[in-house]
Chains A and B, each alone.
Chain A
Amino acid sequence: MRTKEQPLIFEMSRKGRKGDSLPELDVPDVSVEELLGDSYIRKEEAKLPEVSELQLVRHYTALSNRNFGVDSGFYPLGSCTMKYNPKVNEVVARMPGLSHIHPYQPEEQVQGALELMHELQESLAEMTGMKEVTLQSAAGAQGEWTGLMMIRAFHEANGDYDRTKVIVPDSAHGTNPASASVAGFDSVTVRTDERGLVDLDHLREVVGKDTAALMLTNPNTLGLFEEDIVQMAEVIHEAGGKLYYDGANSNAILDKARPGDMGFDVVHLNLHKTFTGPHGGGGPGSGPVGVKEDLVPFLPKPLLIKKEEQYTWDYDRPQSIGRVKPFYGNFGINVRAYSYIRTMGPEGLKQVSEDAVLNANYLMKRLEPHYDVPYPQYCKHEFVVSAKRQKDQGVRALDIAKRLLDYGYHPPTMYFPLNVEECMMIEPTETESKETLDEFADALIAISKEVEENPDYVLEAPHHTVISRLDETTAARKPILKHEQ
């Protein structure tokens, strides 16, 4: 169902139209020239669109109709935890005392906000088995970097300047090695073995006196719990390194296994994943970081503490790595996460993990006869299938993803992790019903039949979206990044 393209907002612009409602100036008027030197005054106006309010609303409504969210349909994007975003979270985040407070108001004017943040910090510390949590990091990747910077500061405080390496499994999220680089480390890859888990022998080979940390996602990106975690922690700790937990995949472990108990020293969480902050089309997120006791002195400053029944910002932290973000983090996302935690409570969160794991295993089982499942043991919150079988018939995983669009689904995470051929990484989440899982499985099974019977139809997919496959090569070769007016 192709529709005609939606014009750019600039293409609807007509000189003289307005969408704003600025009040009359009520102070004595003075010329701009009098207030600013001539060289400072802008000569040519920025070419923003000139449209009426209804035109604006119709334009963005039309754009929203060309977009797909969790509310539109099933969105099993692996490692992204596209669960339901509760509506009440949006209501509480917009309360005036939470939405319209300035970060430089004196502490006594914002005690409610500080209490909320402190409660959230404590809940997250309890869930992860960490001593203290900072809410300053903006997103998962910034949390990773913040954690690694603390590990660096810890080693340096011990006079240990030669720990230049961070070990990262080959199945790790791309942000892990990128964060290691940004924090000034070199990354070393540790292999995945035939079980889909970190190769313990290889880990023993690559670890050494230069090891600053091991970054690990557990359950890993294949959706498997790293059963050897206790031994791995021993290997790293004996070598003097620290264990970093990438909490992007924590939806499976709530009340089941705390990173702190597994031996991790630093944890970041993606509040926009496990804790229902809406993904917003790519953000904003929030990436709090928790640490064990020996790393507490290095937390970013300021740190929120409770002192004589008052909440206050502690800036007097001489060993802190400093500031990673202005103000106190993405407060608005933290409000939503706290709302979710209070909605679920301890029993609810435990059920979340159980249902997330149940859903993933059920879906995997249903797909197993039709797609290669490289790691058929029980998975956690997500699993991977390979379209190797279909590739032999000339249809790639990408084509299957495009065909899924016709069936009304958002495709899984594609071609990741990198160590699985023609990989599709599927994370159903706990908020999906059995009926939805069955319908999705039926769609993938139907596509596998189409691959056998009418592969061209799959290769030409999608057929029912507003636009067909886009020319990404030209887009990258001759980039057009803005509209020329």
Chain B
Amino acid sequence: MELLNLTAVKLAEKIKAGEVSAVDAVQAVLAQIEKTEETYNCYVTIDREGALAEAERVQREIEAGNLTGPLAGVPVAIKDNMCTQGMLTTCSSKILGNFIPTFSSEAVVNLQKAGAIIIGKTNMDEFAMGSTTETSAFGATRNPWNDAHVPGGSSGGSAAAVAANECFYALGSDTGGSIRQPAGYCGVVGMKPTYGTVSRYGLIAYGSSLDQIGPLCKDVTDCATIMEVIASHDTKDSTSMPREDYNFTEALVDDVRGMKIGIPRDYFGEGLDPEVAAAVKAAAKVLEEKGAIVEEFDLDLVGYAIPTYYTIAAAEASSNLERFDGVKYGYRAEDADELHRMYKRTRSEGFGPEVKRRIMLGSFVLSSGYYDAYYLKALKVKALIKKAFDEAFAKYDIILGPVAPTTAPKLGESLSDPIKMYLGDIYTISVNLAGLPGICLPCGLDEKGLPIGLQLIGDCFAEKKLIQAAYTYEMARGAFEKPAGREE
């Protein structure tokens, strides 16, 4: 259907012009969900009635001239780790299987103020721990390009929903690549902003010092537009930072002349699929032809990023997830006759294996006698990684590389070997450790017809450079193909 193929910004323009209504848009999305959701399982919760009612309200506001923003009336999907007032928020975990928040996360509030209509909550790896969306307690999500493959993760439901036209755009969260990698696997655009740009208030924490909310969407224009709406300085989040400039759409300029782009040799070593390498290098060539100065360089410490990340993220997660104990909300084991048995059984039954693995890992690295050797050392390496990036950004405006070593693996291939799954995060996690912004956009298909993701990394607060380079590449690349498997 034509309407569904519109980008979020184009749809909003048509709504504003009175060519279609917000209700039409929601109905179109719900119709598409009817057709494809059974196959892809993008959502944990679909709020059909709520979305239609909200669409009617928003439509009236648009007609009354009260809602004039560039996303007014556009249906959005929200990753299920962001609190939505009155709407189930599960983190794809049994332990929060019945949890209905009393407040909405700040990013969601910002969207709603701009006239966004929430279709539902998207599936994810349980508590955002995973790279495939297979660790969800509510079943795996499948990749709309080929449903035998995973959509990536942890924001796999959001990425797949955008690719499957089950929404016009979505919010995801990125702790170690959880927006960028599924965007790459699903052939959509995903951005992880500089740490502190989008409020974490209402985002159910995984690794608090690494988590950032960001958009998953159809093109770079949508990405910049969504960023403008969700980014804000929020006094409810101590790590939220005021920025001088929120005009991300200003950077939608088709020009990279003189821009310095560095390609880390370390990102093209062992383990990288040759098809992915070729597509990413070809993308770099495109930017060079558009006037950018492209160079290869050595980015130190890449090899240390994975152990550092899994130490810090697991440590924080082990503490962040302590509050899920059956006392106040969520799942509680039945018939436990004593407090500690209730805790143990609730958490044993409520959490899945990957979450338990990371809680144990995190508890271990924080335990007395090991803290200095693991956690403290990881913090020191984190600081060194940041320094290595600082040095790189003294020379380059942007760092360019792949988002993942391969295209989307088949379902079931990754979980059997967690270490292999962790290694798949190699290109994305150092960005989180250094608090940097990163964007992923599709740059080709492999032989199997699966999308390949191009990742651009910027210095802190340099989202506009990323947007400009990504937009320029997108203009040169032309419209990206549609998923072959997607039912229309």
| A and B interact physically | no
Interface set of B (CB-CB < 8 Å, partner A): none
